[in-house]
Amino acid sequence: MSKMAREEGAATGPASFRGVDERYAGRNIATQCVHAGERAGESDYYGSCTPVHHSTTFMYDSMQALDDVFQRKRAGYVYSRFGTPTSTALERALATLEGADAALSCSSGMAACHLALLGAGVKAGDLVLGSSDIYGSTYQLIDTMFPRLGLRGLMADFTDLIALERIMQAESPRVVFFEAMTNPLIRVLDVPAIIKMAHRYGATVIVDNTFTTPLLLQPVALGADLVVQSVTKYLAGHGDVLAGAVFCRAADFDYLYTMLLQTGCSLGPQEAYMALRGLKTFPLRFTRQCDGAMEIARFLEAHPAVERVHFPGLASHPQHQLAGELLGGKRFGAMVAFELKQGDKQAAFRVLEALQIILPATTLGDVHSTMMYPPHSSHASLSREELARVGISPGLLRMSVGIEDPEDLKGDLAGALARV
């Protein structure tokens, strides 16, 4: 429960209900992932884990109790689009990890991005300023979909702070949206500086923390107004569930919650259960993935078929020092992008088809390693010119490092790269 919620006398209200699990607030993230959100009900017996509550509707002993929940005077459940005990358990666990007053679980990461943008209070005429190499669907949402509704969308290079400030000064964006680690080129942004700058110009800041995860970065603590996660990726981690979350301050919860109800992008109980189940091993998986990624980046950098490796843990990465300061200096995420020498689509496809262990698949963050070709998947919505403008070359491959043995992964890469 946040200090803010307590001051507002909302200790039992819906925001704190979906907030930090105080029992584990000061603990290490490994402990939080195992315990937070679980066994938080009001019965006098508990299962060790929260069950899947499939019921779409909920009843109370008195009509007054139901009325209080409807009026948001007390926390509770009325209808599953409004939340279920299973999704609340997940929300409390996630809010604890991100250090946020409240979390709202969503049916996907894109639903979370959309909800955060709407929840930031955008209206026709407002400008949404987005970082130019964010996730492809988010790019399209800001750059193409919103403008159809009368919003203005502008994409810019957020690694250039001087140019960025000039844009903010000239355009007064209503919302600034970025990912701490960009996709697919794994650039690292100066998150605290960008948040401060955006606030100076009166913008609401949304940070997509999917690639960095709360283990490397907590944007809420750095001042971000809203944070989003594609829980589908590292947090759930097993490639079997689609889920997302928005993190907000207690004061902003009601507006976001109303948006959630109106958009209907709520997370189902089965998915909430699976995400919560996956979350328990997230720190184990993610540290292993980050360490494996470091090894693989070094291997690729030394490989004759590889022109260039994009990984912030390498000294050759343009934001290596910044990444160290921002992410704690030990780990740099588990995404590695690389460009084939004289690479084109055919060469990239030959590599993908020759892989024996790494799955040629369009996702990231799973226990299994995956590799994909950004120009035809995550960034398929971008035109040739847009791709060139954001620096995505035709021989670019992006790997999400899983928890397999790094030696086996390197062997698989060596075999596939021998084909080009």
Ligand X SMILES: *Cc1c(COP(=O)(O)O)cnc(C)c1O
Residue nearest to ligand X (CB): 109
413 CA to centre of own chain? 27
Q: CB of residue 58 vs ligand X: minimum separation in angstroms?
A: 27
Contact set for ligand X, span 117-136 (CB under 6 A): 135
Residue of 27, 73, 81, 308 marked active site? 81
Residue 113 contacts ligand X per CB under 6 A: yes
Strand-by-strand arrangement of the 370-372 sheet: 306-310, 335-340, 396-400, 370-372
Residue 87 contacts ligand X per CB under 6 A: no
Q: CB of residue 12 vs ligand X: minimum separation in angstroms?
A: 31
> Can 280 be counted among the known catalytic residues?
no
The position carrying tokens 């997230």 is 282
Q: Which candidate, 409, 75, 199, 160, places its Cα nearest to that of 66?
A: 75
Q: Of the candidates 233, 310, 317, 379, which one interacts with ligand X according to CB under 6 A?
A: 233
d(CA 136, CA 155): 12
Residue 224 contacts ligand X per CB under 6 A: no
Residue 108 contacts ligand X per CB under 6 A: yes
Q: Which candidate, 282, 336, 269, places its Cα nearest to that of 309?
A: 336
Residues 6 or more apart whose CB falls under 8 angstroms from that of 370 comprise 358, 359, 360, 361, 362, 363, 364, 399, 400, 402
Q: Of the candidates 132, 183, 204, 266, which one interacts with ligand X according to CB under 6 A?
A: 183
Q: Of the candidates 110, 118, 267, 322, which one interacts with ligand X according to CB under 6 A?
A: 110
Residue of 24, 135, 273, 373 marked active site? 135
Residue 242 contacts ligand X per CB under 6 A: yes
Identity of residue 31: T
Token duo for residue 192: 């605290």
Residue 217 contacts ligand X per CB under 6 A: no
> Can 233 be counted among the known catalytic residues?
yes
Residue 311 contacts ligand X per CB under 6 A: no
Piece of the chain touching ligand X by CB under 6 A; list 6-14, 105-113, 116-124, 156-164: 105-113
Q: Are 187 and 133 in contact (CB under 8 A)?
A: yes
Contact set for ligand X, span 135-174 (CB under 6 A): 135, 138
d(CA 141, CA 118): 11
Token duo for residue 253: 């919860």
Q: Which candidate, 101, 106, 97, places its Cα nearest to that of 36?
A: 97
Residue 208 contacts ligand X per CB under 6 A: yes
Piece of the chain touching ligand X by CB under 6 A; list 77-85, 108-116, 141-149, 160-168: 108-116
Residue 179 contacts ligand X per CB under 6 A: yes
Residue of 92, 174, 187, 233 marked active site? 233
Piece of the chain touching ligand X by CB under 6 A; list 25-33, 141-149, 193-201, 230-238: 230-238
Residue whose CB is less far from ligand X, 113 or 413: 113
> Can 60 be counted among the known catalytic residues?
no
Residue 109 contacts ligand X per CB under 6 A: yes
| Cα three-residue angle 96-91-50, rounded to 5 degrees | 105
Residue 244 contacts ligand X per CB under 6 A: yes
Residues 6 or more apart whose CB falls under 8 angstroms from that of 180 comprise 188, 189, 191, 207, 208, 209, 211, 212, 217, 219, 326
Piece of the chain touching ligand X by CB under 6 A; list 41-49, 109-117, 310-318, 383-391: 109-117
Residue whose CB is less far from ligand X, 80 or 131: 131
Q: Are 368 and 404 in contact (CB under 8 A)?
A: yes
Q: CB of residue 400 vs ligand X: minimum separation in angstroms?
A: 9
Residue whose CB is less far from ligand X, 77 or 135: 135
Token duo for residue 227: 């944070």
Residue whose CB is less far from ligand X, 84 or 138: 138
Q: Are 52 and 138 in contact (CB under 8 A)?
A: no
Residue of 101, 133, 190, 208 marked active site? 208
15 CA to centre of own chain? 21
> Can 143 be counted among the known catalytic residues?
no
d(CA 372, CA 379): 11
Piece of the chain touching ligand X by CB under 6 A; list 30-38, 83-91, 103-111, 250-258: 103-111
Q: CB of residue 216 vs ligand X: minimum separation in angstroms?
A: 14
d(CA 375, CA 382): 8
Catalytic residue positions, numbered:
81, 135, 208, 233
Contacts to ligand X by CB under 6 A: 108-110, 113, 135, 138, 179, 183, 208, 210-211, 230, 232-233, 242, 244, 364
